[in-house]
Amino acid sequence: MSISMMKFLNQTLCLSLVLSISMTTLSFAQTCSKYKFSSNNVFASCNDLPFLDSFLHYTYDSSTGTLHIAYRHTKLTSGKWVAWAVNPTSTGMVGAQAIVAFPQSDGTVRVYTSPIRSYQTSLQEGDLSFNVSGLSATYENNEMVVLASLSLSQALGNGGTINTVWQDGSMSGNSPLPHPTSGNNVRSVSTLNVVSGVSAAAGGAGGNSKLRKRNIHGILNGVSWGIMMPVGAIIARYLKVAKSANPAWFYIHVFCQASAYIIGVAGWATGLKLGGDSPGIQYSTHRSIGIALFSLATVQVFAMFLRPKPEHKHRLYWNIYHHSIGYTLIILGVVNVFKGLDILSPKKQWKNAYTGIIVALAIVAVLLEAFTWYVVIKRRKLEESTKSAPHGAASNGARSQYA
């Protein structure tokens, strides 16, 4: 029975992980080239922007250095503002020269220019560092279309490259509120060569590097705190019931949790580095839970060196402490992985896959819990019947030092 229990554990864990990770969905994006403007405007080039359901149509007049643009933001719900900007000095938000538009309560659309000087901007109206003409905007069928002509002869970089930013956010009456500081709202940055039409998402190599670090941070923490910690707890909880698994279950449990701790610390460190590289962007809850995870896990690791022997009078209290901290770590780890997924806003299948893994592990734990109680109760009945049998003074055996 103990061997079959070990096989059942291994097979169900592997099957649940494979099934969960294989959950994928297909998505198809619009293409700007097929769009026709109601005003019969025609542009030489267009780009499907990678985030926020946005598109940029443009024509560059090299003789005058003027860029004629139409910025489209689709799937826009009421009570939202949109903005598109050129940043002549850097690839981020600060320094961006923005065009802001939003539908007003009276049904009209307000469109104006706004220079962004800090992360705490309220998008106040003001002149840009270059001239803007022909500014107008329309809002129909949940789509905002902004038209403008920009004199960029002084703002163009080498070979006709500009840094662009686009955003959306909520409104309070007719006043724009700060945009979200997570997910696609912190990814909506690109470079655009107005001569060749080449666009590079996330500000080229530097932006791609930061996005890569964010993904590495998410993977390290998702695997360690979010998967390996629960799996290690399942191993300790249910494998030790099988007598043939003793003491192997203990070493497997220690290896799994120690590996999770090392990987988790690496993920925690990348999170601190990302926070230091992103001034003005804070995720207080996610950060606080991360610090709590690191602190509790570190205490748990050092507490292993103070573990009393099974027969020690204080071993019961140590077990209560060890289990309480362990289950707290698992709960906080899973919660923080979901917090991180909300911040990263990856494709939906990634969140679905992790949700599937957690649900599968929970189902496995419930099944093994029932099976464990069945084994324990049957074993106790067998021991009681052996004790009550005539001339049958059977020994219960020595208790394992790893229990």
Residue of 81, 75, 76 lying closest to 104 (CA atoms): 81
Q: What is the pLDDT of residue 337?
A: 93
What are the tens digits of pLDDT across the range 121-147? 778 888 888 888 889 999 988 889 999
Binding residues for heme b: 217, 253, 286, 322
Query: In tens digits, what is the pLDDT along the chain, a chain of 403 residues?
Result: 444 544 444 544 444 444 444 332 323 344 677 788 877 788 888 888 888 888 988 888 878 888 898 999 988 887 889 998 888 887 777 888 888 999 888 888 999 998 888 777 778 888 888 888 889 999 988 889 999 998 887 666 556 778 888 888 888 888 888 887 777 777 788 888 776 666 665 444 444 556 677 788 989 999 999 999 999 999 888 888 777 778 888 889 889 999 999 999 999 988 888 777 665 566 789 989 999 999 999 998 888 888 888 888 888 998 899 999 999 999 999 999 999 888 777 777 888 999 999 999 999 999 999 988 888 888 888 878 887 766 544 444 444 445 5
Structure tokens at 252: 């497997």
Residues 6+ apart with CB under 8 A from 127: 113, 115
Q: How far is CA 349 from CA 338, 341, 355, in A?
A: 13, 11, 10
Chain CA centroid to CA 395, Å = 54
Element (H, E) at 80: strand 80-87
Q: What is the pLDDT of residue 361?
A: 93
Decide: pTM greater than 0.75: no
Q: What is the pLDDT of residue 201?
A: 59
Q: What is the pLDDT of residue 389?
A: 66
Binding residues: 217, 253, 286, 322
Element (H, E) at 167: strand 161-172
What are the tens digits of pLDDT across the range 266-323? 999 888 887 776 655 667 899 899 999 999 999 988 888 888 888 888 889 988 999 9
Q: What is the pLDDT of residue 29?
A: 40
**What's the alpha-carbon Rg for the chain, to the nearest Å?**
29
Distance CA 351, CA 338 (A): 8
Q: What is the pLDDT of residue 348?
A: 79
